Amino acid sequence: MPAESSPFAIPKLDDSNYTSWKEDMKVVLMDRGCWSFIIEDKPCPEQATEKEKFEYDWRKQRSYTTIYQGIERKFLPLIRHTTDGKEAWNILKTNFEPTSKARLAVLIDEFFELKFNPVEETIGIFCKRVEEKKTQVKEAGFEIPELLIALQLIRRLPAEYDHLVQTLYRLKDEEFNHREVEKQLVNEAGRIQLKQKDLNLDYTENAYTVGSFRLQETLKKSSERSGAVLDPSRNPGQYRKIRYPKGMGPFCDFCSRKGHDASKCYKKRNKEKKQAFASETSFCGTNQAFGVSTDWDQFLIDTAATSHFCYERDWFKNFKELTTTKDLLADKKSSCEVKGIGDIDFIVKDIKGNVKITLKDVLYTPNMRRNLISGARMDIAGLKIIWSDNVMRICHSNNEYFFSAFRQDMFYLVSGYPLLDSVMYTSVDLNLIHKRLCHVNIPLIKDMCKNKSVKGLEKVKIKIENESCIACNVGKATRTSLKKNYVYKRVTKSVLNKVHMDLWGPAPVNSLGGSKYFLSIIDDFSRKIDVFTLKSKSEVFSIFKEYLSRVQRELGRKLKSVRTDNGLEFCHKDFKTFLRDLGIRMERTSFYTPELNGIAERFNRSSIEAVRTMLQDSGLQPRFWAEAFHAYVHTKNLCSHKLTEGKTPMEIWSGHKPSIRHCRTFGSLAYVYVPTVNRNKLQPKAKIGILVGYAVNRRGYRVWLPKERKVVESIHVKIDETKNGVKTLFGKVKHYDYAIYQLDQNLNNDSDYRAQDEKSSSPKKPLSLDISTWIRLEKPRKKSKRIDVYYYPPSKERLRSINDVKMYCEKNKLEFDPNQFNFKPTTTNTRFAEKSECHNETSSDSVDEASFVNDIFQNEIYMTEIPKTFKETQISPDKEKWDEAMSEEIKLMQNRQVWDLVEPKSNMKVLGCRWVYNIKHDEKNNVKKYKSRLVVQGFKQRPGVDFTDVFAPLVNFDIIKFLFVLLVCILGWNHAQIDVKEAYLYGNLDIPIYMQQPEGFAVKGCEHYVCRLHKSIYGLHQSGRQWNIELSEILFGLGFHQNELCNGLYTKSNCILLVYVDDIVVFSKSQSDLENSILNIKIKLEITELGPVRYLLGVNFERIEDSVYLHQNTYINKLKTRFKNLPRRRIALILKVGCILPDRVKENEIIETELMRQIPYKTLIECLSFIANRSIPDIAFAVNTMSQFCNGYTYHHWTIVVDNLNYVFNTMYYKIFRILIILG
């Protein structure tokens, strides 16, 4: 046996790597000597020795085991049935590289999408990628022509290959093939690489020369006055001092002094510099560094241009508009519009540093594609141009170096930045900065300007006439301070010596994410603030641990001290233990002395004032308080503090001076770019929203999209600070009463801003009260002569007194007239003495019982309202019917001896119970019976103690449909449906279980006794299994056999039973066998015969002649009643073609309106899934797609699901129909 080969270390085959896996596996098989068994089926030679035969068999088996070990486990069933390596290889190839037209289309698209990436690959690798993709296309059944392969190699090359591409296009047809093109490309790539290497070397030498020149100039300046000269015998840049005797040495012709010549005269040099820098003609410049923007722009030096040209309007200063003129371009046939003239300051990024140049009389040409510097104007300014080694050097008239332009694509370009003048802010502009910084006080902005604390406020005009901000006056109004001459100071000397913590909340309205509190952590030394929004106080400890690990790693320091108040969120045992183990000192304030934690308390006050001001100014709803709060903290960390000596908290914390150039006004109108993958070609490229803050963990802004009702983070945002987002999108700004926090709790709903503003724009008078739609009930008490009077408004609330009516009217802004209500009974002790009375009826008007009940059931309140508790049944208008249903349930349990009463013991576990009520309907949605069921509280049971197995088999509904069509329609069998009364009560219990006596039916004199259960009862975990065991034993005794594949199906000669809990469907070949089977079951069980199947498990069965129709009209009508507030509209398509669904949101970021809470998303999905599986399969795909958003849906998702339900309502009369097949 040959020695073991190299280790098997290639990635296993998965869903996406077959192409690379195939090549790697080929190498492994070749390494192990097994590849010959894959490419051909060569038998072992007959004259081979035993050893050779053994080695042949071993390598052949190894070809299979190597492939077997190289694929993921989920793909093993594909090759598990074979042991031949070649067959396994072909199977995988068939599955992962099918020769289908669909795969061929994908491969051809991938071939023409290949593009050379010079950063990540060489030209040779790119050519091999093209060849490999060509081979894959060929294996899929199509051979790409040679011409297309050669064209693909040169189709998307970088600009430096343009010359070669033009040459290749001129080749003859027989020479233009991919081999020749590949050869030329490799040669050209080598030439380009060598040229780039030479350019880099020249640039390095130039940079070194400039650096050495600077060093020499510095040494010269320090030595000229002392007579020191450069000593050639020493290292470059070193000087030695030569002293000349008095009156000796060279003579200077410029200053008439001895000891130096004119070339070394510093007076002459200084004069020449002043003359050079004083040149203020059409071109001037200085070698100075300036703070500029970060994007590189370019000017092209054109020696043929007669003027400077620029297409950027923002770069100009001293700009003057011109009447439209035209300048001829180089071809003298086309022209370009000139709309103005001015000067431009430009910073050149030169090898010597930043160089400022000033271009005079630049023409503003917005239609030009390049910015031009005129060579003629440079010559007029006295500048010289020297060309050498792809570099254009510009020098002053005295040959002093100025800056350079480098050749690129046959053009000489100057790269750099425009030097934009800082805006000279007027009072309006200062207010804009004030709003951008989230309404920070104006004196602080002045201090930041003086101290240059941040970038972007270099030339703010400090003296302004008006510093008043209306929003600040409203949101930050305070009492007059009685504390004077207070000296602020800080005692810490570095960051993380001490932090101040405090928790604020709860907020009067939840934030967009459902938060109610915020935790502030403030560093004492830097005054840097970190804030976190929380849903509950219990999150404080985990948030602090995350904060501590992050800042300690960020700064490389340890926290020493924490100061908090005495809130329970800080004083619990886990918090103390955590700080003690880390050696962090815990400081707490004295009781009722919040001043000791004044830094955190003051921040809470100032931050809430700022949030109130920002919301007031922007017009956003109160639920945006968390977004405004985070935006305020972001800008607060960029503003200096009176104790930080002119520095900002962020600069002290990080060591870098921050910038505020990115800050924008909170609530401004914003346009968010939509990526191409999220829109089609005809949809808008941006979405309109409202700016609500800055992204936390990435660069960008946070924008609220009202139509999608979500906040997105993106850097591709265009912000219009001149427009208020709320006013632009909704017509006007609503100013909520933030100062006293009387916040409308309905602001979390999805009602339109405009609708809310119209309601609140002017004071509304209370609406007139119309009680014609109200119901008045007189209810006699069971054990008393007293009669209670109730009023029911349309909102289903029960009002028991005149005070309840008054409070209801005040709440709903209705006029209250006590004369319209009569709470005095008008009848005596007759049991059915209830009467209906409205405001236009007298007290003598009455109706009989039948009329009254009919009126009640015509009202929607009582059509859908089902009691939830026993007490509600006693005040329900159908009290007698519910009492009768409960009595029937108790009587049935007594007949079946479900329990007996025993005295409770101290160690006895007693389960509670409750009544559950329902109204049964027939297939026509008519009321069939009032149903009451006693249910035990089985959630208190413990597995393994109170129960063991709980599984009970059910028949699948698809089997019911299949057998119904096959047996009834095709074979003509008879069928019937039976229902077992209280089926679970037949199951026997093998574990003692105790239950409280049912409410309303406790035995007199034994009220403290408990029920010992002998039979299973609804609510117990094992009830379903015990009933199924009992039913199986009964059916076995009647001669039925249980099907092994479907345990809910029982068969007997010429008879089939389908069991679904307590619903049983019987099929039989003859009517007599059917009746006998039902009779035998009836002897054993108490059942209800329902006749032929018409309504089963929510589905209507209709047989018309030789066809079966399935529909769910009864169930859908129930949904119509249940979702009566659902917005209705006609829907033709469930999901439109090309519909783009919004992204999934986090579960804690789901925002629900009042209507969405009334009609929950998950409930709609549940109902639609039931309908799709039963009778309307055309909604299955849409329901399946929308069910994927159950834990992260938005308002847009909810509307799509509502449209699905509307489609069901519109098509509820459509039926699935089966045709009878006549057997010959």
User: Who has greater pLDDT, 574 or 448?
Assistant: 574
pLDDT score, position 1098? 80
pLDDT score, position 362? 92
Q: Name the pLDDT band for 734 (thresholds 50, 70, 90).
A: low
pLDDT score, position 686? 93
On the question of pLDDT at 1165 being above 50, the answer is yes
Q: What is the pLDDT of residues 838-871, one digit of tens each?
A: 333 333 333 333 333 333 333 333 344 688 888 8
What integer is the mean pLDDT of 821-838? 53
CA distance 723 to 794: 43
Integer CA distances (angstroms), 43 to 2, 37, 46, 59, 84, in order? 20, 9, 9, 12, 13
Is there a contact between 346 and 418 (Cβ–Cβ < 8 Å)? yes
Which range of 68-82, 448-462, 716-730, 1194-1208 scores highest in mean pLDDT? It is 716-730
Is there a contact between 648 and 456 (Cβ–Cβ < 8 Å)? no
Task: Please report, for the domain that includes residue 400, its CATH number.
Answer: 2.40.70
On the question of pLDDT at 216 being above 50, the answer is no
Q: Does one domain contain both 806 and 946?
A: no
Q: Kindly state whether residue 243 falls inside one of the protein's structural domains.
A: no
Q: Does one domain contain both 1005 and 1079?
A: yes
User: Which of 642, 657, 672 is the endpoint of a domain?
Assistant: 657
Q: What is the pLDDT of residues 327-342, one digit of tens each?
A: 655 444 457 788 889 9
Q: What's the one-letter identity of residue 1131?
A: I
The first and second tokens of residue 320, run together, are 């003057």
Q: Name the pLDDT band for 736 (thresholds 50, 70, 90).
A: low
CA distance 154 to 134: 15
Q: Name the pLDDT band for 562 (thresholds 50, 70, 90).
A: very high
Q: Does one domain contain both 559 and 578?
A: yes
What integer is the mean pLDDT of 1207-1216? 80
Among 959-968, 1028-1037, 1102-1111, the range scoring the smallest mean pLDDT is: 1102-1111
On the question of pLDDT at 904 being above 90, the answer is no
Contacts of 682 (CB under 8 A, 6+ apart): none
On the question of pLDDT at 535 being above 80, the answer is yes
Q: How large a percentage of the chain has pLDDT more than 70?
A: 77
Q: Kindly state whether residue 969 falls inside one of the protein's structural domains.
A: yes
pLDDT score, position 258? 65
| Among 893, 937, 909, 895, CA closest to 993 | 909
Q: Does one domain contain both 1112 and 1198?
A: yes
pLDDT score, position 1044? 81
Q: Does one domain contain both 52 and 112?
A: no
User: Which of 418, 440, 458 is the endpoint of a domain?
Assistant: 418
CA distance 860 to 1122: 11
pLDDT score, position 642? 78
Q: Does one domain contain both 398 and 543?
A: no
On the question of pLDDT at 717 being above 90, the answer is yes
pLDDT score, position 196? 67
Q: Kindly state whether residue 1089 falls inside one of the protein's structural domains.
A: yes
On the question of pLDDT at 1144 being above 50, the answer is yes
Q: Kindly state whether residue 845 falls inside one of the protein's structural domains.
A: no
Q: Kindly state whether residue 848 falls inside one of the protein's structural domains.
A: no
Q: Does one domain contain both 962 and 984?
A: yes
Q: What is the pLDDT of residues 754-766, one digit of tens each?
A: 333 333 334 455 6
pLDDT score, position 1? 43
Q: Name the pLDDT band for 1132 (thresholds 50, 70, 90).
A: low
Find the DSSP H helices in 1085-1134.
1113-1122
Give CA torsion, residues 1066, 1070, 1075, 1077, to 10 deg.
-60
What does residue 512 show for φ and ψ, rounded to 5 degrees?
-60, -35
**Coil/strand/helix, residue 407:** strand
Determine the structural domain holding residue 786 and report its residue range. Answer: 775-812
On the question of pLDDT at 694 being above 90, the answer is yes
Q: Kindly state whether residue 115 falls inside one of the protein's structural domains.
A: yes
Q: Kindly state whether residue 1167 falls inside one of the protein's structural domains.
A: yes
On the question of pLDDT at 321 being above 60, the answer is yes
pLDDT score, position 34? 86
On the question of pLDDT at 18 being above 70, the answer is yes
User: Who has greater pLDDT, 697 or 103?
Assistant: 697
CA distance 558 to 495: 9
Q: Does one domain contain both 1092 and 1115?
A: no
| Among 385, 376, 370, CA closest to 309 | 370
CA distance 362 to 377: 11
**Coil/strand/helix, residue 755:** helix
Strands 309-310 and 353-364: parallel
Q: Does one domain contain both 989 and 1063?
A: yes
Strands 927-936 and 913-921: antiparallel
CA distance 1015 to 1026: 9
Q: Does one domain contain both 364 and 384?
A: yes
pTM (whole model) above 0.85 = no
What integer is the mean pLDDT of 1079-1099? 83
pLDDT score, position 209? 38
User: Which of 657, 674, 704 is the endpoint of a domain?
Assistant: 657
Q: What is the pLDDT of residues 768-794, one digit of tens each?
A: 676 766 777 777 776 666 788 888 786
On the question of pLDDT at 1022 being above 70, the answer is yes
Q: Name the pLDDT band for 1152 (thresholds 50, 70, 90).
A: low
CA distance 824 to 690: 57
Q: Name the pLDDT band for 877 (thresholds 50, 70, 90).
A: confident
Q: How large a percentage of the chain has pLDDT more than 90?
A: 8
Q: Does one domain contain both 79 and 121?
A: no
Q: Does one domain contain both 1147 and 1180?
A: yes
The tally of domains found in the chain comes to: 8
Strands 1049-1052 and 1055-1060: antiparallel
CA distance 614 to 616: 5
pLDDT score, position 1222? 37
The first and second tokens of residue 1018, run together, are 């609804």
The first and second tokens of residue 1063, run together, are 């619903």
On the question of pLDDT at 204 being above 50, the answer is no
In the predicted model, what is the mean pLDDT of the chain?
76
Integer CA distances (angstroms), 165 to 151, 158, 231, in order? 10, 10, 55
Among 34-38, 125-129, 161-165, 764-768, the range scoring the smallest mean pLDDT is: 764-768
pLDDT score, position 631? 93
Q: What is the pLDDT of residues 908-936, one digit of tens each?
A: 888 889 999 988 876 666 777 888 888 88
pLDDT score, position 521? 93
Q: Name the pLDDT band for 738 (thresholds 50, 70, 90).
A: very low
Q: Kindly state whether residue 513 falls inside one of the protein's structural domains.
A: yes
